[in-house]
A and B are shown apart, each in its own frame.
Chain A
Amino acid sequence: MPKRILAVDDSLSMRMLLRASLTSAGYDVAEAEDGRAALEWLENNEPTLVITDINMPRLDGFGLIAELRAQERFRDMPILVLTTESSPEKKARARDAGATGWIVKPFDPEKLTVAVRRVMH
């Protein structure tokens, strides 16, 4: 059974890119278009990893992470945030929010898998 990754981004093309890269790396990919949709999906599913964008309508990435970290079953689940910023402040903010790591957009598919392996068994 392949490991499953939930990709959360309000941009369909970004989700497509994530799906294409992760699927070819052998992962199973589910998608959600914003934090709220992700939470709904997570009610009944438990992926190995969540990759989320920050800026999204309804519930943004930081909000999503906060909600997840507040739940026991997601306390230790790896979460990567997609960010267009590589500045130390932005990274610190992501980590303080409870993210395990980040992927700087635009990402190379291989770099993406490297980052995924860095946080996922």
Chain B
Amino acid sequence: MSPDDIQSIFFQECEEGLASAETALLAIKAGEHDGETINTIFRAVHSIKGGAGAFGFHPLQSFTHLFETLLDKVRDGELSLDPPLVELLMGAFDVLADHVTAIRGEGEQPDDAVMKRALRDALSAAPASAPGLASQELGLSFDIDAMMAELTVRSDIPAQDWRVTFMPAAGDLAHGGEPLLLLRELAALGGQVVSADPDRVPTLDAFDPDAAYMGWTLRLPATAERATIEEVFDFVSDPGSVTIERTQFDDAMRSAREVILQSRPVAPLATPAAEPPVAQAPLAAKQPKVAVGATIRVDLDKLDRLVDLVGELVITQSMLSQRLASNGLAAVEELADLDQLTRELQDSAMAIRAQPVKSVFSRVPRIVRELEASTGKRVQIEVEGEATELDKTVIERIGEPLTHLVRNCVDHGIELPAQRLAKGKPAEGLLRLSAEHKGSRIVISVSDDGAGIDRERVLAIATDRGIVAADARLSDEEIEQLIFAPGFSTAREVSNISGRGVGMDVVRQNVQALGGRITIQSRPGEGSSFALALPLTLAIVDGMVVSVGDQTYIIPLTHIVESLRPDRDQVQSTGLGNRVLNVRGAFLPVLGIGDQLGLTGAVSEPSEAVLIVVETESAGSAILMVDAIIDQRQVVIKSLETHYQQVEGVAGATILGDGRVALILDVEGLVDLRAPVPLRCAS
């Protein structure tokens, strides 16, 4: 474990600390807090301060020191948590977060002068205002190098030197204290015991083995610094038991009474309690070494490698069983076990990569707070299911879309307090984040109780921008979908909130790139809800194995609605080789995968083929025509882009049990390849 590794762990801890401090701050703001809440913030700031000092981030250390001192006063009840103080804590938190960003090298060092002054002002309002602020900060910059340099000096002792007397208080042997160790430390500084003073030692019947009776006088070389000697007595309970003074030993005394202490304790007489039985701990030493922590941190690359290898194992296992089956050995019992184990191994490996969505959700409060400040709106955040876990890669990549949705809800959805009150709603808008498992997907939703989507305006803009024809008749859902159209933006002017150069179309692209889908539900005057349905992992996919011509393809199950074998007369031609099938009243285009991908030898007559009804995010429903369905299974996704290049209509590749490579179809892209888009069809 290198210093850099420890530092990167420290960065992670900073982020975790910030997240829990933020949650606590919000609870305080909402008036839902107890003593532990402020303690949580204190602990987080305290830990960051400790690490900041250890890793030499001095501006952060100095800032956290002030922040911590203030929190300490709040904790002790010397300062009361009134709204201005809560605001100050929030502000200080933001500066702290900026500091952390800065030490990670991801941002500028914040200018914290104003905030520091505000913190000091608040501190001076406390009854017993911290007198030792400056000295404490000085205390942190102890010069260890100078001290260590001193340790090496112990040669000729000049006439002028230190005389140290040490008469331990009776209680100095309590709690594991051991004065002899101090003598040893002084010896290392070149000290010599000049005299031992047994005057206080009582008679045996009055002797308390737990009390200290002996006293010593020592001589130390003048080269030792007073501070260094004082440091040795740092743990001594009564400063009065130690005297340190410059003195002149006479030569006679020097020659007569020199006793050099080596690293071994002296005078058993003086140390009746010097070796408490506990300290020897022979039993403890035989115990196996156990770390108490229940978690470990692993480099993500190693995990990715593990997941990769497990993927390979799954493929190999599947090839093996296929090979055995073709040799009539399918019923081998061990094979079933192996199959089961491989599956479990794969699930476990995936579970290791899973992370709670909390890490993404926890960014939201800060974003909302910024928005509140810049828009004048007031927003309360409600979070549900933040412990729901999904793959780390997915977590990493939903941050941006989620942020955008949140901005969108606050910016366009939630109304200004006055408007809300006029509509009979509470002044404070509600933003709700939730995450839950639904089958093999996780659904994350962002909803607000704002104005809802203004359909008339959406339609007007879409018509204006030529996204839909002027005479198009669209359903409410279709109109709402328009906000995802490229080039669509409803902001009257480009606000710097939602209008950060990305529209909802980019949000949808991002979600689709993750194999996810986004849906909207909106009610005018009541609010909108955006739901992201995401795969639990990007490494495997449930797919239907189909054959087209001499090729094998995988269609991700998430897109598949049903499969059909139509009669000849059910499929109708619309000219130019386009065909549609009436599926319960809706006419869906029939797409031959062979035609789409330029393949020959595929079945071209729908009545002889298998039709698979798929639904897509951007292009509505359609029917894919394949020759036959072979199997349904989980496949390990291999990126085509890393090994070859991106191919339209293809999302990736996998290796099948028989060793052949099969392409995984990008249903979204495939359906989108054909024109016209369904909305215009529908009109």
| Nearest A residue to B296, CB-CB | A12
Q: Which of B22-58 contact A (CB under 8 A)?
A: 39-40, 42-43, 46-47, 49-51, 53-54
Q: Are B9 and A101 neighbours in the complex by a CB distance under 8 Å? A: no
Asked if residues A4 and B284 are in contact (CB atoms below 8 Å), the reply is yes
Give B36's nearest chain A residue, CB to CB: A57
Q: Which of A16, A95, A106, A115 contacts B50 (CB 8 A)?
A: A106
Complex: A121 Cα to B151 Cα, angstroms: 19
Tell me which residues across on chain A come within 8 A of B1, comparing CB atoms: 16, 20
Given the interface contacts A11-B50, A117-B181, does A33 sit within 8 Å of B292 by beta carbon? yes
Which residues on the B side are within 8 Å of A110 (C-beta)? 144, 148
Contact residues of A: prevailing secondary structure: mixed
Contact in complex: B51, A11 (CB < 8 Å) = yes
- Given A104-B140, A106-B53, A118-B182, answer yes or no on A31-B293 (Cβ-Cβ < 8 Å): yes
With a cutoff of 8 Å between Cβ atoms, the chain B residues found around residue A46 in the complex are 278, 281, 283-284, 287
CB distance from B186 to the nearest CB of A (A): 11
Size of chain B's interface in residues, with CB distance under 8 A?
A: 60
Most buried by A among B13, B54, B181: B54
Query: B residues 200-219 with Cβ under 8 Å of A?
Result: none
Partner among B144, B181, B237, B281 whose Cβ is within 8 Å of the Cβ of A95: B237
CB atoms of B235 and A119 under 8 A apart: yes
Interface presence of A120 (CB below 8 A) = yes
Please count how many residues in chain A sit with their CB below 8 Å of the partner chain's CB atoms.
64
Q: Are B185 and A106 in contact (CB under 8 A)?
A: no
* Residues of chain A within 8 A of B644, CB atoms compared: none
Residues of B close to A101: CB separation below 8 A? 234-235
Option from A16, A41, A98 in Cβ contact (under 8 Å) with B290: A41
**CA of A28 to CA of B291, assembled, Å:** 11
Complex CA gap A59/B140 in Å reads: 26
Residue from the list A13, A30, A40, A115 in contact with B10, Cβ < 8 A? A13
Is the beta-carbon distance between A85 and B297 smaller than 8 angstroms? no
B266 proximal to A (CB < 8 A): no
Interface string of B272-291 (1 = CB under 8 A from A): 00011011010111110111
B contact residues around A121 at 8 Å (CB): 178, 181, 265, 275, 279
A118 touches B142 (CB 8 A): no
Which of A14, A74, A98 neighbours the largest number of chain B CB atoms within 10 Å of its CB?
A14
Instruction: Tell me the bound Cα distance from A104 to B43 in angstroms.
Output: 16
Give the distance to chain A from B95, nearest Cβ to Cβ, in Å. Answer: 19
B487 beta carbon closer than 8 Å to chain A = no
* Cα A102 to Cα B5 with chains together (Å): 27
- The reply on A111 being an interface residue by CB < 8 A is yes
Contact of A99 among B42, B148, B175 (CB under 8 A): B175
Indicate with 1 or 0, residue by residue over B639-679, a CB within 8 angstroms of chain A CB atoms: 00000000000000000000000000000000000000000
Contacts of B486 in A (CB 8 A): none
Q: Are B50 and A84 in contact (CB under 8 A)?
A: yes
B85 CB–A CB distance under 8 Å: no
Give the residues from 1 to 41 in chain A that come closer than 8 angstroms, CB to CB, to chain B.
Answer: 1, 3-4, 10-17, 20, 28, 30-33, 37-38, 40-41
Q: Contact: A76 with B176, CB < 8 Å?
A: yes
Q: Which residues of B contact A102 (CB under 8 A)?
A: 234-235
Q: Are B292 and A30 in contact (CB under 8 A)?
A: yes
B147 touches A111 (CB 8 A): yes
Contact of B43 among A10, A48, A75 (CB under 8 A): A10
| Chain B proximity of A54: nearest CB distance (Å) | 8
How far, in angstroms, from A75 to B273 measured CA to CA in the complex?
A: 13
18 contacts between A and B (CB under 8 A): A15-B293, A40-B292, A44-B287, A46-B278, A46-B287, A47-B281, A48-B279, A55-B46, A77-B279, A78-B178, A79-B175, A79-B176, A95-B235, A100-B176, A106-B53, A117-B185, A119-B181, A121-B178
Given pairs A11-B10, A77-B279, A104-B140, 9 additional interface contacts (CB within 8 A): A41-B290, A45-B287, A46-B287, A75-B278, A84-B68, A95-B175, A100-B235, A108-B142, A120-B279
A residues touching B (Cβ–Cβ < 8 Å)?
Answer: 1, 3-4, 10-17, 20, 28, 30-33, 37-38, 40-41, 44-48, 53, 55-57, 69, 73-79, 82, 84-87, 91, 95, 98-102, 104-108, 110-111, 114-115, 117-121
The 10 closest A-B pairs by CB, nearest first: A106-B53, A46-B284, A78-B176, A101-B235, A13-B10, A86-B139, A76-B276, A108-B144, A32-B292, A106-B54
